[in-house]
A and B are shown apart, each in its own frame.
Chain A
């Protein structure tokens, strides 16, 4: 089955077309999984939450505003599911699998220490700062798309990103990483 636009695909899904449902999942599965994995830092949890996100997407597909692009809407649901999963995890701690442990992630030995320190710093960040930092730096999404996914103004996203960077850098400095700039004050 080949459906070109997201709107047509959604219409087919609403009509109960099993092929269209499969197509929609395959079209967005890697994006959803990537965000879930980066926010949760655990492959199995990420796949579980990503599948749950798709179930939610299909359950509320009739509420999707066709004027909005589909991808940010789906990613918003995924981010919300990740928040729920993280709050559950905080109540019941589970072993965390860091990005460096993922097979295929070949990180040079010299930078693995830095990556671990940044991951540590991210774990200590406030939830929304962490989300903005990951969406911007790790997935490379523009401010506008991040604002749409998080349902916040672009200005708020920029502010949160600046604060997140400042805190990460402060953490790195505290860990002994040499930084050229000394001014890490928040705006």
Chain B
């Protein structure tokens, strides 16, 4: 504390200062409790502000994400190269069936005229009879010759589809659909 320096020039001020310094200024009772209440309120407010800020930042990020996401997906559409659609891998049986259908289509035109004479031959074989024996006991079995001959002459596969189906059956694969 600096003591007032006697100075006649400043007498009124020193007199005023002396009186003011003699005044004892004391806070009201409960001042410290008031500070504690304010501190608690300030802490709550700052915490709330922090949470609000974090929530705002999160919502802004989400908003930006929602806005930016469709743009990210649309970007490949601007690419000159078209998107390649990757199909599921075909099964082996399906591949064989596909190959069979192709083979049938390729061979159908050639197989049809080739099979026509055979079909005519088979239809003619139905009327065939055992030759008449020239005396003595007949030497031929006791059944009709025509149907047997027709069955013997009929090819295993009289159509390309049947041929393919026979082949597929030998491989253990389901036959072609009709």
Contact = CB atoms under 8 A, between A and B. Distances in A.
Contacts of B42: 55, 59
B38 A55 contact: yes
A141 B150 CA distance: 138
Interface in A84-125: 99, 102, 104-105, 107, 111, 114-115, 118
Contacts of A168: 13
B13 A118 contact: yes
A181 B12 contact: no
Nearest to B2: A142
What band does the interface of chain B fall in when counting residues whose beta carbon is under 8 Å from A? Answer: 20 to 34
Contacts, number: 100
A102 to B, nearest CB: 8
B109 interface: no
A148 interface: no
Nearest to B42: A55
B27 A30 contact: yes
Contact of A25 (B12, B24, B25, B31): B31
A17 interface: no
Interface in B135-168: none
Interface of A: 18, 21-22, 25-26, 29-30, 33-34, 37-38, 47, 50-52, 54-55, 58-59, 99, 102, 104-105, 107, 111, 114-115, 118, 136-143, 165, 168-169, 172, 177, 179-181
